[in-house]
Amino acid sequence: MATESLADALARTRALLLDPETLVRAVASGRRKGLPVPRVGSREVRRVELRYVDLKAGRHLQLTSFDETQAHTANFATGEEAGGAVDALLGQPFGNWHVDTTTRTHQLRVTKRPEAVVHTTERAEPVAAERGHNREKPRLLAESDPVLAALGIADAHGRIKPTRQAKYRQVEEFLRLLDSSITDALDKGHLRRPTEDEPLRIVDLGCGNAYLTFAAQRYLTHVRGLPVRVTGVDVKQQSADHNAGVAATLGIEADFVVGAIDAAVLPEPPDVVLALHACDTATDDALARAVEWDASLVLAAPCCHHDIASQLRTAATPAPYALLTRHGILRERFADTLTDALRATILRLVGYRVDVVEFVGSEHTPRNTLLRATRTGSRGSEDASRREYDDLVATWAVTPRLAELVGIRGD
Ligand SMILES: C[S@@+](CC[C@H](N)C(=O)[O-])C[C@H]1O[C@@H](n2cnc3c(N)ncnc32)[C@H](O)[C@@H]1O
């Protein structure tokens, strides 16, 4: 891809950021090789999001900066104030700028020299910018987005149905994680950049009624301007029939495969694997398929955890941990934690970087843990991790299903 002068590319980016009519959202992230971590004021930041919001005092540029632990928001009046804030950000050594406007997406990556590689995609149809200001996070899919009505989350007037608020929240939080995970993986070169001919292939394993499949498709193509092709897999024929109907209503191409996660045949191996609330060891099946396919990015929110819980019931509890498993409810919770800790470790052992995060507040669903795994190929501290893993499974006398599936045997 052609490089150009960094100063010229940043000047074009500045003009897009300072247009309060057309900017939808922009994200600055990463840092340039060999330079310090970017700062906002005195704080080091991982990324900064920009959008315009309509306040009582008029339209303002809103900057949300994310450090290691929290988000900080500041608003700047359009004109000189916003110009000053944008210039300060453009002066920081961010490695990437991603700018969504109503008509195009503009991505700028800074090379080592430093020069800029810019990729601009025109949208098939313009999108509207969400300018609402509330204390909540900005919405990624507007309530009036047609995908929400097609999924039955919004009514025909584009308002979220009172009974579907929790689902909308879950979809939004999931998209937020998907968005930042994809940005991070693209920035670090762990995910290939999709093109119209080679779209990002995303599979949703145990997709059910495909809320997240369709929301991801809509958000990534329509708001982020990334070409994607989604496939849903579920054992239920009824889900595939329903989902094919939704795809037809939305006029999009998507594939729905009827079959078990551990056996489903896909036209091509996917880049991204999603598995949200697939039951019990179906999550292990999904993680094992991701490993088999060498998927670049995996987002899995486990559901019920019966397998390790039942192994804990039958094995003798090692000293001095009897109190952890004496009471049924504590044993179940401990089994959840042990299962997901083992899953994360196994994925690390086979070359993934893994975080375990909360993807939606526990008031919305108790099943709110999400494993996020990015394939880096690095097995840096394999020996130490393997020893810790072996100790843990030997101490508790458990055999994780995922270990069997990916061929990791206990000592
Ligand atoms: C709780 S629902 C979650 C649906 C969807 N992922 C969501 O978050 O809205 C679980 C779905 O996984 C499907 N499922 C469970 N085990 C499966 C397996 N082994 N293979 C394929 N589908 C499975 C079920 O049929 C069901 O539709």
Q: What is the count of structural domains for the chain?
A: 2
Half-sphere exposure in the Cβ direction for 372 (13 Å, CA): 16
- Evaluate whether residue 94 is within a structural domain: yes
Specify the ligand 1 atom closest to the Cα of 211. Answer: 9
Residue 225 is predicted with a pLDDT of: 83
**Which of 87, 122, 157 is where one domain is finished?**
122
Same domain, 182 and 108: no
- Evaluate whether residue 118 is within a structural domain: yes
Evaluate: CB of 175 within 6 angstroms of ligand 1. no
User: Low-confidence residues of the chain, pLDDT below 70?
Assistant: 1, 68-69, 133-138, 361-366, 379-382, 410-411
CA–CA separation, 139 and 132 (whole Å): 9
Q: Give the Å distance between the CA of 334 and the centre of ligand 1.
A: 24
Domain residues for the domain of 155 are: 146-406
- Among 164, 169, 235, 368, the mutation site with the greatest number of ligand 1 atoms within 8 A of its Cβ is 235
Q: Give the Å distance between the CA of 260 and the centre of ligand 1.
A: 9
- Evaluate whether residue 71 is within a structural domain: yes
Same domain, 118 and 177: no
CA–CA separation, 96 and 188 (whole Å): 10
- Evaluate whether residue 131 is within a structural domain: no
Evaluate: CB of 207 within 6 angstroms of ligand 1. yes
Residue 363 is predicted with a pLDDT of: 56
CA–CA separation, 170 and 175 (whole Å): 9
Specify the ligand 1 atom closest to the Cα of 280. Answer: 16
- Evaluate whether residue 128 is within a structural domain: no
Residue 354 is predicted with a pLDDT of: 94
Same domain, 190 and 228: yes
pTM of the model: 0.73
Q: Which residues contact 75 (CB under 8 A, 6 or more apart)?
A: 53, 55, 60, 61, 62, 63
Residue 125 is predicted with a pLDDT of: 77
CA–CA separation, 281 and 221 (whole Å): 32
